[in-house]
Structure 1
Amino acid sequence: MKKNILICLVGLLCLPTSTLTAQVADSPPGQNLVYSLGNPGQESESSSASVGEQAPVVIYGEIINPDSLSPLKISVTPYYLSRSSRFKKSHFTPDLNRGTFWDGVLDPRVQKFALEIPDLLRPAYISLKVGEKELLDNYLVFPHDSLKIDIDLMDMQLVFGGPSQAFFEVQYQLHRLQKTKQFNSPSKVVLGSAEKLLSQKDYRAQWEANNKLFGSRLEFEKLDVSSFNDLLEEIEFRGDAIDEELELLLGMERSLTPSQSELLTLELYAGYYHDLLHRLYLSYYSRLPSLYDTEELPVIYGRINQLMKDIALKDFSVSAKLVSANWLNQEMDRLTLISLTEHKPFLQIAQEQHDSELLDRVGAAFLTQNLSRYPDPAKLIRDYLPEVSRNVWTDKIASLKSATVPGEKLISLTFEKLNGDTVSTDELSGQPVLLYFYFSTCIHSAHYFQDLLYPLYESKAKSLGVELVAVSVDEDTTLWHNQLEAYSHPEITNLRLSAEEKEKWRAYYEIASFPRTFFLDADGTIRSFGLTRESYQAFEQEFTELYSEIQHRNTPDTLPKSISK
């Protein structure tokens, strides 16, 4: 599976994870949502079949860790909505105990651990880290699973045992095979013209020299009719792209239950289609009018629409689709492309394709990713909630109000100051505050602060009594200190969120990208989750309007009466 880099010429957001994809924000399909169910969904079985008896999961084993200060961390995601969503995600840090002669541990470096994850209703995803070293990333686990694991970070070995050994072993081998294929494939840059990029500075010489030295590690895909047709053919005719993975899975099928085998198979097919559909949506769809004549476009849109309906993966059960992360990622892009080609709202398309809890899951994922881009999120939540059938998804959609509709106080957080002291959320109140969150490897944060936020503070906000507070989410305090002048300013208040506090903040406010700026009034109430970045003039105008609203909500003695500089 090839790696693809989608060049973003006007990108304004940084994703806080390693990624080769930079997304350009686009309007969500269909601002006027239609809630009539219309045609019934396409599911052939009741979603209740996916919910079984509650049962715990047991993970236990041994670890050799040369960095004894790094804790073992295990996280569980029972309801996947997106890579960045923290919905009902749980974190565990099991105690590590020295082994003894009497339990057969003869190596004094070995520590033992055991963890019982509370009752699960259906399969979930688990991740395992030691410090910041990711050892297992989103592995599937079923209720009743019991996994024994040997972690040797001295020799870099990971060994599975126990009753669930085979299920984890096949996932480990599948992950390794996919990583091997990615490593052996060149990275692909998708852009309008490679010549424009290569003609700058000495880029062509660097590219050619590295290709001769290391082989072809970087390729360019031109955004033209030929490459677009090639992409559609990859979607339509799968070829042998995942045959190795399917063969590996087939070879271990006797050691798996039918449910385990089906879920892993769905992950493979959906993962393959998601990569292609994401490329189609982000790189090509908006450019089609420049690639085809007006008379040709309806035919092209019709071809895309039919292709999306042909790859609906109808042979897989609702039970598997309610769990699979890759299926949901693929389905979001598939339904978006149907929505665009049929000129219908996304949620209407979802209602035509699905029903019951599967519709709830798709709807919750869509709102989680897009709600903040609608002009009236509160109304959208009110209108959509009656359509939701399951309490867990009702709770999720209702909770989105806190992340998208201003009016609540900032949640309780503890910040670290540059000198190591701590300060609480309550200590931020007393005057309006622009609370700017960033991390110190996000170049968009640096440009945002230097080009928009700090000039606004210097020219207007400071004189109005509005404080600017910069909050780093860097887990490396040295990086935070060293990069302060590039991403903030030493003369303003500089704070940092610890890993635990950052996770709490990101989960509550559904934070998926940076930078983020909250505008708080003097009481600590959030009045805005961000200002427009279209231009400095628009940025300043929105700040001025928000400040006027804040001023009217407070007594004359609390804030200055004039907003003119």
Structure 2
Amino acid sequence: MKKHLFTCFLASLCLYGSTLTAQSKGADSPPDKDLVYQSGFPGQESFRSSASLGEAAPVVVYVETKRIESVDSLLFQLWDPYLNENDLPLPEVAQLELSQGTMYDGSRATMRGQWESKPISGYGRLSLRFNKFTYLDRFLVEPGDSVRIRLDFVNARMLFSGPAAEKFRVQYELANAYENYRYDQNPTMFTGDSDYWGYSTEDSLSILNIKNQQSSIRRKMEFVSPGPVGLSHLENIFSMDISSHPGFDILDFYQGKVGEDFLEILRADLIGRLHFDQVFKFSTYYMEDSSHREFFQEKILGKNIPIPAAAKHSAYFPEYIYQKLAIESALSKEPFRHLLGHLPQEVHDQVYAIYIIKNYRLFKNSNRQFELALDQIQTPWVKEEINRLYSAQGIGQTISEIPLVDRQGNEISLNSLQGKTLLISFWLPGCQFSSNAYQSLIKPTEQYFTEDEDIEFVYISHDRLPERWNNNIESGNYSTEESLNLNAPGPPHPFMEYYNIRYFPTFMVVDKDGTVQNIGNIPDLSEELIHYLESINAESKPNQSK
């Protein structure tokens, strides 16, 4: 029997923002305040920023696009500091509207604009996106960095100039090297059948054709099945010499062109990313047997990967350590927190925080886990983030008074619904998982309680388009039209940010006193959910007389 090690619980959830772009106010500096040019041309300042770490200064990006008519704005995301891309802390988000360039500033036939961040005093991470397309993915930035970027869609290239150009250029080359390294390898597909031929005659013919082709330039799918085939595939993955990755040659090339500390963080990024890929593959192909356990002991636990000093600033190394320790915890049954003792304090704190942020809604006693983490975490910004999350997510807290909007446009606070046990379903338009959960779990449960006036079902969407929201309600795919339907229009919306509702569907249970009893960890079978709601409702009845 195959047993997956679920160290990331996003397989059946929709992530908000994966297809919808966030919008907020962006800085649009006039030409006479263009910091890209104030610091001189490339080469004049070598790899120095206009500020040093600890000295607060903004990051400034002047960007030109050449030329796709539909690209009239770009989305900037800045994490300061960075811990996790999809969770907390949330990034500063700005939608930069672009304007037509002119021949007088060398931007003819382009759309251009300038973005400026809030002042930062330490390392940050910057992403640049348009709809589903990502052009910069969590690029490392320092206070005072300024750069000019041209997104040349006509000739399919990205150009960098300005004082921080080399910092951006090395990361752009590293990103290309990482993707090319993956492109050199055949894609894989995990199947339950060692003799897999697809699900149709057409599939079988396609697979046969690919297996028979002899080509030095075309890739072919490798089908990986449980057992010896999967273990052999893991052996191949872990036998790869990570030190030969072309990214390290790129880092060596930029020695003396970019600051050494900056390069060491990028080196920690690359090492962490490559080891993460290996460990994640292991969790994907794992089977509960002695061979896989021995493989883990030898290839993962037995491999001593030094923790770079720059790991505390890396976007990838703490994620690698988390993934490795999460698997070790699952196999050894040892509490995750007991496996952190060997880590440097700042890395320890980040890894522990990642564990809490990813899993707090799955804990049987989340309050206890928050308290244990806060007792061990010492890094101020990490402790502040976990403490803020605990204040909002702690079981036993009163439901927030932040208002939501009903279908008539009236503001309603969930706190005003005291006296009833609430099951709250958060859903996202277009999310199949939200629809599936409603049809198979929430709808039959609600039908059971049709005559029970003590239990109310509330459906909350996160939709910036009221007409689409109403149409989705009427479709019956996500909620019951006759129930209380509310919207948290945005992005962003303070209620959704307060409760960190970013994955859909998410469920919340609130008792008659307005006290949160559960966030995201309800039973997944209707019969069990019915019993759970009945018990919450019964336990809160004595408080009705208060």
Shorter-chain TM-score: which interval? 0.7 to 0.9
Looking at structure 2, the residues matched to 468 and 443 of structure 1 have their Cα atoms a distance apart, in angstroms, of 20
Q: By how many angstroms is 1:273 displaced?
A: 0.9
Q: What is the one-letter code of the residue matched to 1:74?
A: F
Looking at structure 2, the residues matched to 312 and 72 of structure 1 have their Cα atoms a distance apart, in angstroms, of 39
Looking at structure 1, the residues matched to 410 and 106 of structure 2 have their Cα atoms a distance apart, in angstroms, of 42
2:262 corresponds to:
260
- Number of matched residues? 500
Q: Answer whether contact 1:448 1:515 (CA < 8 A) is retained.
A: yes
Q: By how many angstroms is 1:422 displaced?
A: 6.0
Which of 211, 228, 232 lines up with 2:231 in the alignment?
228
Q: 1:251 and 1:201, CA in 2 relative to 1: closer, same or farther beyond 3 A?
A: same
Looking at structure 2, the residues matched to 127 and 173 of structure 1 have their Cα atoms a distance apart, in angstroms, of 16
Secondary structure at 1:260 match in 2: helix
Looking at structure 2, the residues matched to 411 and 362 of structure 1 have their Cα atoms a distance apart, in angstroms, of 32
Which of 335, 342, 346 lines up with 1:357 in the alignment?
346
Q: What is the one-letter code of the residue matched to 1:228?
A: L
1:405 corresponds to:
395
**Pair 1:545-2:535 in alignment:** yes
Q: What is the one-letter code of the residue matched to 2:268?
A: L
Q: What is the one-letter code of the residue matched to 1:273?
A: H
Secondary structure at 2:532 match in 1: helix
Which of 469, 478, 481 lines up with 1:487 in the alignment?
478
1:160 corresponds to:
160
Structure 2: 5+ residue runs without aligned partners?
19-51
Looking at structure 1, the residues matched to 5 and 183 of structure 2 have their Cα atoms a distance apart, in angstroms, of 18
1:76 corresponds to:
78
Q: Answer whether contact 2:401 2:415 (CA < 8 A) is retained.
A: no
Q: 1:443 and 1:500, CA in 2 relative to 1: closer, same or farther beyond 3 A?
A: closer
Q: By how many angstroms is 1:13 displaced?
A: 2.5
Q: Answer whether contact 1:84 1:511 (CA < 8 A) is retained.
A: no
Q: Answer whether contact 1:94 1:114 (CA < 8 A) is retained.
A: yes
Q: What is the one-letter code of the residue matched to 2:448?
A: S
2:357 corresponds to:
368
Q: Answer whether contact 2:273 2:320 (CA < 8 A) is retained.
A: yes
Secondary structure at 1:488 match in 2: coil
Which of 273, 280, 283 lines up with 2:282 in the alignment?
280
Q: Answer whether contact 2:72 2:111 (CA < 8 A) is retained.
A: no
Looking at structure 1, the residues matched to 374 and 297 of structure 2 have their Cα atoms a distance apart, in angstroms, of 32
Looking at structure 2, the residues matched to 7 and 380 of structure 1 have their Cα atoms a distance apart, in angstroms, of 19
Q: 1:166 and 1:11, CA in 2 relative to 1: closer, same or farther beyond 3 A?
A: closer
2:48 corresponds to:
none
1:245 corresponds to:
247
Instruction: Answer 1 or 2: higher relative contact order, Cα 8 Å, separation at least 6.
Output: 1
For residues 282-361 of structure 1, the aligned pairs below 5 Å read 282-284=284-286, 286-289=287-290, 299-300=294-295, 302-304=297-299, 307-314=300-307, 316-317=308-309, 320-340=310-330, 343-351=333-341, 353-361=342-350
Secondary structure at 2:269 match in 1: helix
Looking at structure 2, the residues matched to 423 and 187 of structure 1 have their Cα atoms a distance apart, in angstroms, of 50
Looking at structure 2, the residues matched to 498 and 185 of structure 1 have their Cα atoms a distance apart, in angstroms, of 43
For residues 413-428 of structure 1, the aligned pairs below 5 Å read 413-415=403-405, 417=407, 421=409, 423-425=411-413
Q: 1:184 and 1:137, CA in 2 relative to 1: closer, same or farther beyond 3 A?
A: same
**Pair 1:388-2:341 in alignment:** no
Q: 1:537 and 1:201, CA in 2 relative to 1: closer, same or farther beyond 3 A?
A: farther
Q: 1:144 and 1:462, CA in 2 relative to 1: closer, same or farther beyond 3 A?
A: farther
**Pair 1:113-2:101 in alignment:** no
Q: 1:220 and 1:230, CA in 2 relative to 1: closer, same or farther beyond 3 A?
A: closer
Q: 1:59 and 1:350, CA in 2 relative to 1: closer, same or farther beyond 3 A?
A: same
Q: What is the one-letter code of the residue matched to 2:320?
A: Q
1:188 corresponds to:
188
Looking at structure 1, the residues matched to 154 and 450 of structure 2 have their Cα atoms a distance apart, in angstroms, of 53
Q: What is the one-letter code of the residue matched to 1:438?
A: W
Q: By how many angstroms is 1:505 displaced?
A: 4.7
Q: What is the one-letter code of the residue matched to 1:535?
A: L
Q: 1:372 and 1:220, CA in 2 relative to 1: closer, same or farther beyond 3 A?
A: same
Q: 1:410 and 1:309, CA in 2 relative to 1: closer, same or farther beyond 3 A?
A: farther
Secondary structure at 1:405 match in 2: coil
1:469 corresponds to:
458
Q: By how many angstroms is 1:181 displaced?
A: 4.6
Q: 1:506 and 1:272, CA in 2 relative to 1: closer, same or farther beyond 3 A?
A: farther
Q: By how many angstroms is 1:272 displaced?
A: 1.1
For residues 142-221 of structure 1, the aligned pairs below 5 Å read 142-151=142-151, 158-182=158-182, 185-195=185-195, 198=197, 200=199, 204-205=203-204, 207-208=206-207, 211=210, 218-221=221-224
Secondary structure at 2:347 match in 1: helix
Q: 1:485 and 1:77, CA in 2 relative to 1: closer, same or farther beyond 3 A?
A: same
Secondary structure at 2:400 match in 1: coil
With the length of structure 2 as denominator, give the TM-score of the two structures. 0.78
Q: By how many angstroms is 1:274 displaced?
A: 0.4
2:105 corresponds to:
104
Looking at structure 2, the residues matched to 72 and 374 of structure 1 have their Cα atoms a distance apart, in angstroms, of 38
Q: What is the one-letter code of the residue matched to 1:257?
A: G
Looking at structure 1, the residues matched to 488 and 157 of structure 2 have their Cα atoms a distance apart, in angstroms, of 33
Looking at structure 1, the residues matched to 396 and 194 of structure 2 have their Cα atoms a distance apart, in angstroms, of 44
Secondary structure at 1:486 match in 2: coil
**Pair 1:140-2:135 in alignment:** no
1:30 corresponds to:
none
Cα deviation, 1:21-49, whole Å, max 9, x if unaligned, reads: xxxxxxxxxxxxxxxxxxxxxxxxxxxxx
Q: By how many angstroms is 1:162 displaced?
A: 0.8
Q: Answer whether contact 2:99 2:112 (CA < 8 A) is retained.
A: yes
Q: What is the one-letter code of the residue matched to 2:121?
A: L
Q: 1:535 and 1:211, CA in 2 relative to 1: closer, same or farther beyond 3 A?
A: same
Which of 418, 422, 428 lines up with 1:439 in the alignment?
428
Q: What is the one-letter code of the residue matched to 1:223?
A: P
Q: Share of identical aligned residues, percent?
A: 17
Q: Answer whether contact 1:410 1:526 (CA < 8 A) is retained.
A: no
Q: 1:18 and 1:388, CA in 2 relative to 1: closer, same or farther beyond 3 A?
A: closer
Structure 1: 5+ residue runs without aligned partners?
20-50, 557-565
Q: By how many angstroms is 1:277 displaced?
A: 0.5
Looking at structure 2, the residues matched to 282 and 106 of structure 1 have their Cα atoms a distance apart, in angstroms, of 48
**Larger deviation, residues 154-163 vs 396-405:** 154-163
Q: Cα RMSD between the aligned structures?
A: 3.9
Q: Answer whether contact 1:416 1:498 (CA < 8 A) is retained.
A: no
